[in-house]
Chains A and B, each alone.
Chain A
Amino acid sequence: MSTDTALAAEIEDVVFQRRTGGDDAAPFELRVSSLRLHAGEAVACIGPSGSGKTTLVHLLAGILTPHAGEIRLAGARIDGLHESARRARRAREIGLVFQEFELLDYLDALDNILLPIRLGRGDLVAGAARARGLAHALGIAPLLRRVSARLSQGERQRVAIARALVTSPSLVLCDEPTGNLDPESAGSVLDLLLEQAREHEAALLMVTHDHTLLGRFDRVIDVRELARPARRGEAQP
């Protein structure tokens, strides 16, 4: 991926700390010196459990705020924004795909896809048109009015991907969306994600434990090298 491409997201000298247990337990700390995600770039994020992959995703999404450093989304800082502003930007500009897909069972597929637009007060008419287009591309157009509780696992995956892309986000963050899938299904979900993200020129960061999929990404980062989780008092690299 060319470095000339526009930056979708950027992290500089971020420090994040969180208490992990009782008063005596050392707090968890994540440090990220530098991370850049370019538009249309697909990046895999690997690392062992507890190394800070999900924390990194949450920092980029604005769900968590760092104690130090800067996080930029499309060139604009989000770490200093008020929480309500961060939430609004998240709904509008970031697509999220979760491990369990997390569809709302009482909504049909179309309403699930439109959820970020409803919550972010976006243009519902334009959003619906875009949702139908995505549904067509993902092969779920005939299922739009089916309640999500009655969708198969594969259909739910596609609805979750459409939901992540419906706002035309500049950044798509995926937290182990293939974690519970067999290798064949995991590959097809990833292909769909990569295809749609590239088509919409969105940067994609996917947390994964599945090393067989890494070859399909533009870049792979190990959170231990990038972010170096450290216990307080340890010497920093």
Chain B
Amino acid sequence: MSGLLYLAWRHARAHGARTALLILCIALALWVPLTAGVLARRYNTDLRARANSTPLLIGAPGNRYDLTLAALYFRPSERIETISYRALDELQAENRATCIPLHQRFTARGFPVVATSIEYAEFRDLRLAEGSDPLRIGACTLGATVAEDLGLKSGDFLYSDPTELYDIARPPALKMRISGVYAKTGGPDDGAVFCDVRTAWVLEGIAHGHVEAEEIDEALVLSRTDDSVSVSGALIEYAEVTEANEASFHYHGDTSLLPLTAVLAVPRSTKDATLLKSGVNARMPLQAVTPSAVIDDLLGVVFRVKAFFDLVGLFLVVTTAALVGLVFLLSSRLRTAEMRTLDRIGAPRSAARTLIALEVVGTLVVAACLSVSATALTLRFLPDLVASF
């Protein structure tokens, strides 16, 4: 066998271009369905795990997929409507669940800013790798991926992204102090910036602080009277909450109407979950959804599409196998004289078949290794699909 193995190796090496082309074709044909299959399984597992760990979501009536995907995976959505902070109070008053506010409409250097309460970190079991939770207004705690990608740590600052670059009436970008970094979880929380809901309202422009008139740089003062000071728009390039100005931050209007994008409810029992969900859907201008059911619906569609691609992948593999078979068949015919020589010299009766089989198996093994490596690399470097769903 070792003699034939050597001959198979030398033949493959002597016909390097043909062998490389065959290996590439087979590897590609295997890589496509293999990667798709692994991705689909991982996608399915990750999506379901997150959904199954989230009992109930309550938000504005509308698209339940948008509500679920935004609240669970922090998928940005322009279409999602807000609910009032009063709704959170009303839900808490029912005393059936721990209600966690969620506000997610802004980004900081491209990462979603998730405004919530300290209960969220407890519910998701987010452990601090360094620093502390974002307890103060204007403070934020980074997910592990955000800290890693941006090279930030506790004590650094992170600017929120401006929403309207050319709108001079825009809420200013907020310079947020990083109070801590959460440990890696392997989920969407790694790619988010967490802050208190009050910070989100500052980002919305609903809450703000004032600079003392005496502290304004005279170069920015346009006019000054006894009871007012007019300053240049350049004064407020960003807002920053400091220990000195924290007390000056305040809201105008009814605080119970401050916006949230969703409420994550953790019912105390199955009965409470049922009653809370039915109560919200029947009595309130809100919708309550069970994320696992929403994701099941969504994946049902996704996997129907995947079944089609599986069929395409199977067709690709079968076609490639047929072509590779044809190549080896023609090759074996071209090697008839060689096989006759081996036979005459005294090679075993099965030598010709073994020689071809060794080349086929060798080609397949190398191609399989290549496709598995390519799949591993793809999975390693492909962006997190769940996060970017």
Chain A residues within CB distance 8 Å of chain B: 61, 63, 83-84, 87-92, 94, 96, 98, 102, 104-107, 111, 115-116, 118-121, 147
B15 to chain A, nearest CB (A): 7
Instruction: Assess whether B348 is in contact with A87, with CB atoms less than 8 Å apart.
Output: yes
A91 with B10: in contact, given A102-B337, A119-B3, A119-B351 (CB under 8 Å)?
Answer: no
Among candidates B2, B3, B346, residue contacting A92 with C-beta atoms closer than 8 Å: B346
A63, A88, A96, A102 pick with most chain B CB within 10 angstroms: A102
User: Using a CB-CB cutoff of 8 Å, which residues 333-356 of chain B contact chain A?
Assistant: 337-338, 340-349, 351
Other A-B pairs beyond A83-B349, A98-B344, A102-B341, 9, CB < 8 Å:
A63-B344, A84-B349, A87-B347, A91-B345, A105-B14, A106-B14, A107-B14, A119-B342, A121-B3
B349 and A116 within 8 A (CB): no
B residues near A90, Cβ cutoff 8 Å: 345-346
Q: What 3 pairs across the A-B complex have the smallest Cβ distances?
A: A91-B346, A118-B3, A106-B14
Contacts of B303 in A (CB 8 A): none
Give chain A residues whose Cβ lies under 8 Å from the Cβ of B7: 104, 107, 118
B238 part of interface (Cβ distance < 8 Å): no
User: Does any Cβ of A come within 8 Å of B11's Cβ?
Assistant: yes
Q: A102-B337, A104-B338, A106-B15 are in contact. Are A119 and B10 (CB under 8 A)?
A: no
C-alpha spacing A51/B337, complex, angstroms: 24
Q: Which residues of A contact B351 (CB under 8 A)?
A: 119
Mark out the residues of chain B between 344 and 374 whose CB falls within 8 Å of any chain A CB in the assembled complex. 344-349, 351
Contact of A106 among B2, B11, B340, B347 (CB under 8 A): B11
Closest B residue to A57 using CB positions: B344
Q: Is the CB of B345 within 8 A of A115?
A: yes
Give the residues in chain B near A102, CB-CB below 8 Å: 337, 340-341, 344
24 residue pairs from A and B, CB less than 8 Å apart: A63-B344, A84-B348, A87-B349, A90-B346, A92-B346, A98-B341, A98-B344, A102-B341, A102-B344, A104-B7, A106-B10, A111-B6, A111-B10, A115-B345, A116-B345, A118-B2, A118-B7, A119-B4, A119-B342, A119-B346, A119-B347, A119-B351, A120-B346, A147-B14
Name the residue of chain B whose CB is nearest to the CB of A86: B346
Asked if residues A61 and B348 are in contact (CB atoms below 8 Å), the reply is no
**Cβ–Cβ < 8 Å partners of B337 in chain A:** 102
Inter-chain contact B349/A96, CB cutoff 8 Å: no
Chain A residues with CB under 8 A of B342: 115, 119
Q: How far is the CA of A87 from the CA of B344 in the complex (A)?
A: 8
Q: How distant is A80 from chain B, measured CB to nearest CB, in Å?
A: 17
Interface residues of B in 297-339 (CB under 8 A from A): 337-338
| Cβ contacts under 8 Å, A111 to chain B | 6, 10
Residues of B within 8 A of A98 (CB): 341, 344
CB-defined contacts of A121 to chain B, threshold 8 Å: 3
Q: Which residues of B contact A120 (CB under 8 A)?
A: 346
Verify A119–B349 contact, CB threshold 8 A.
no
Contacts of A147 in B (CB 8 A): 14
Contact yes or no, A116 B344, CB < 8 A: no
The A-contacting residues of B in range 1-38, CB under 8 angstroms, are 2-4, 6-7, 10-11, 14-15
Bound-state CA distance A216–B337 (Å) is 31
B334 to chain A, nearest CB (A): 11
Q: Max chain B CB contacts within 10 Å: which of A87, A88, A120, A121?
A: A87
Among A88, A104, A105, A106, contact of B346 (Cβ-Cβ < 8 Å): A88
Residue of A with least CB distance to B337: A102
Q: Is there an interface contact between A96 and B345, defined as CB atoms closer than 8 Å?
A: yes
Closest to A87 in B: B346
- When chains A and B are docked, how far (Å) is the Cα of A98 from the Cα of B343? 13
When the two chains form their complex, are residues B344 and A96 in contact, meaning their CB atoms are under 8 A apart?
yes
The minimal Cβ–Cβ distance linking B338 to chain A, given in whole angstroms, is: 6
Q: How far is the CB of B117 from chain A (nearest CB, A)?
A: 73
Contact check, B3 vs A107: say whether CB atoms are below 8 A apart: no
Across the interface, which residues of A come within 8 angstroms of B347, CB to CB? Answer: 87, 91, 119
For residue B348, which residues in chain A have a CB less than 8 angstroms away from its CB?
84, 87, 119
A106 to B13, CA, bound (A): 9
Q: Give the complex CA separation of A87 and B338 in angstroms.
A: 16
